[in-house]
Structure 1
Amino acid sequence: MGVFIFVLLLAILISLVLLIRLFVFLFKRLRGRETIFATKGIKKGALGMLILVVLGIILIAFSQLMAATPKIARENSIAELRKVQLNGRKEWVSIRGENRNKPLLLFLAGGPGGSQLAATRYELAELEKDFVVVNWEQPGSGKSYSAIPKKQLTPEIYVQDGTALVRSLLKEFRQEKVYLVGESWGSALGIFMAKEQPELYHAFMGTGQMVAFEETEKIDYALAMKLAKENEDQKIVDSLRKNGTPPYYGKSVTTKSAVYLNYLSQRMARNPEIQNPGFQTIRDLSAKEYGILDKVNYLRGILQTFNQVYPQLYEIDLRKDYAKLDIPVYFLLGKHDLNAPRSLAEDYYDKLAAPEKEIIWFEHSGHNPWINERERFAEVVQQIAEKTK
């Protein structure tokens, strides 16, 4: 499967290169007012390039048109992958549920720039029995990668578009409120949205809860350095020293942050206390929801959108700016999370004023309880919904 994806991505790149070469060739010929197909060699070369480009474009277009979310074989079910207009921007959502009359649950993916359409369908399928699960492809990620120029992306854009999506869903499904679930970056975005329009939400559930972004990066960096030294991983130590202590700015935010984030993720993946330890990227990239171009943008979002948006989050500290929320708040936290420091989440919880709040610990989870202990995660979400409906 990995080879298949590699071949598809390679085909896209080759097609784009050939297309550019063809345009350059035509431009030069027209500019010089020469006959484009003056010789047999030129004609054959141009024709060959044209055929390859056309085939590549057809392949890409066909894969995009065929992208879909699998159907649910239940009466009155809903399983749609649709394009939506949010504040004038074209973005995508998946909407899945065994009964379209069940309560709405909006899942906010991690990132910024992460796409989890397939991951949530696989890992949280149990929730589709009791909710209409909506997964939003945020601008700059996956199928919504081109919704807005990267330089215009701000945290405020995410809040505005997320709120517009919620209002649209409530109107379409004739409901008064939705349940809001956010993971990692999505856990902070969910807090932003809940603060902005609390009347739209039954409750907020954050997992892999982010609290203070710059402080988190410094803690993660120091922990990775400590563990790398203890395990004599000299290459990691050298890379961390070369990059220096975060925060990072410029064009290398993603690559520098990845050194310690990936190292900590690898440590969690090897932790025997953590069940089902991690994302299955090849499986997710191969999913029906993504056409060839989507697969490329899946990767571009992780690399480029993160680089653009994350530095804008450094100054945010939920303990200072979001210490009061007017809806019930639940933190579903992994006991072995190395990426989002538990100490910050517990400190935020202590300072947070909310109608109801609770930390629910997952003893066999790291940063992603919704993957590590998916059955229990679904049960906890259902229990919270029962309490807050």
Structure 2
Amino acid sequence: MALFLHNVENSNPSGISYRGYVQLNGIQQWITILGQSKTNPVLLIIHGGPASTYSMFTKATQLFSTKFTVVHWDQRGAGKTYRKQPAVPKNLQTLVDDGILLTKKIKEILPNVPVILLGSSIGSIIANLMVQQAEPLYAAYIGTEQMTSKSHQYAFNQALFETGNHVLSKNWLQKFPFDAQSWSAKQISEFNIFSALQKNGCGKYGN
């Protein structure tokens, strides 16, 4: 655990602050740990994407560090982990194995506190499998934007409703099969881009 402790900042002796790489199943993977008390529960955040890291939002989740020790992890194939070595996961189980090992390393330095797992978007699938395969490691599981067979169907229906009378956007959406479960990977990607543009106020998507 010297690798963790080497970069721990000691400005708050009762807390923990770490930013750096940890060896997980053969490669160096980037994590950040921030908490004001080592006795607080750990909140391990499993980002979505694929490869959409949440470590860039450390400042946004800083408020959580008063009640939790917040852990962000750039998964294999993403963010600073990918920047250090361009290794990509062979399959979903590779990410699950990395996440479980990271949890075990966290529990070695914070042995007496519960670990709460938060999975977002595709990260909810990874986190769910982590819980199924290593349930004793986790005190609770939180899922946000969870991926289910009906996720894109609901989002598509909502997008059609929200476009209102905007003809270009509505016509563009209607190029998709109404049954979202029949979408190809390319169609899912295109729809996700459309949704992101709408939610971020970047104008209407349509051509």
State the TM-score, normalized to the length of structure 2: 0.76
Residue 263 of structure 1: CA displacement? Answer: 3.6
Higher gyration radius (CA): 1
Residue 240 of structure 1: CA displacement? Answer: 5.5
- Which of 124, 137, 140 matches 2:61? 124
1:80 to 2:18 alignment = yes
- Aligned-pair identity (%): 23
State whether residues 240 and 259 of structure 1, in contact with CA within 8 Å, keep that contact through their aligned partners in structure 2. no
Residue 168 of structure 1: CA displacement? Answer: 1.1
Gaps of 5+ in 2: 1-6, 202-207
Letter in 2 for 1:80: Y
- Which of 117, 120, 133 matches 1:183? 120
CA distance in 2, matches of 1:231, 1:265: 19
Kindly indicate which of the two structures has a greater share of residues assigned to strand: 2
- Which of 164, 168, 184 matches 1:248? 184
Residue 88 of structure 1: CA displacement? Answer: 1.0
1:96 to 2:34 alignment = yes
* Cα deviation digits, residues 185-218 of structure 1 (max 9, x gap): 2222221111111100011111222222xx4234
Letter in 1 for 2:166: E
1:221 to 2:156 alignment = yes
Q: CA-atom RMSD, angstroms?
A: 2.9
Q: Which has the higher contact order (CA 8 A, sep 6+)?
A: 1
1:260 to 2:191 alignment = yes
- Which of 188, 206, 211 matches 2:148? 211
- Which of 96, 106, 110 matches 1:173? 110
CA distance in 2, matches of 1:204, 1:164: 17
Residue 164 of structure 1: CA displacement? Answer: 0.6
Aligned residues: 191
* SS of 1:80 mapped into structure 2: strand
* SS of 1:122 mapped into structure 2: coil
Residue 173 of structure 1: CA displacement? Answer: 2.1
Residue aligning to 1:162 = 99
Residue 162 of structure 1: CA displacement? Answer: 0.3
Residue aligning to 1:237 = 171
Residue 135 of structure 1: CA displacement? Answer: 0.7
Residue 169 of structure 1: CA displacement? Answer: 1.0
Alpha-carbon spacing, 1:226–1:165, altered in 2? closer, same or farther (3 Å)? same
* Cα deviation digits, residues 19-75 of structure 1 (max 9, x gap): xxxxxxxxxxxxxxxxxxxxxxxxxxxxxxxxxxxxxxxxxxxxxxxxxx9x68433
* SS of 2:59 mapped into structure 1: helix
Residue aligning to 1:50 = none
Alpha-carbon spacing, 1:125–1:247, altered in 2? closer, same or farther (3 Å)? same
Residue 115 of structure 1: CA displacement? Answer: 1.0
* SS of 2:139 mapped into structure 1: strand
CA distance in 2, matches of 1:268, 1:165: 33
State whether residues 82 and 92 of structure 1, in contact with CA within 8 Å, keep that contact through their aligned partners in structure 2. yes
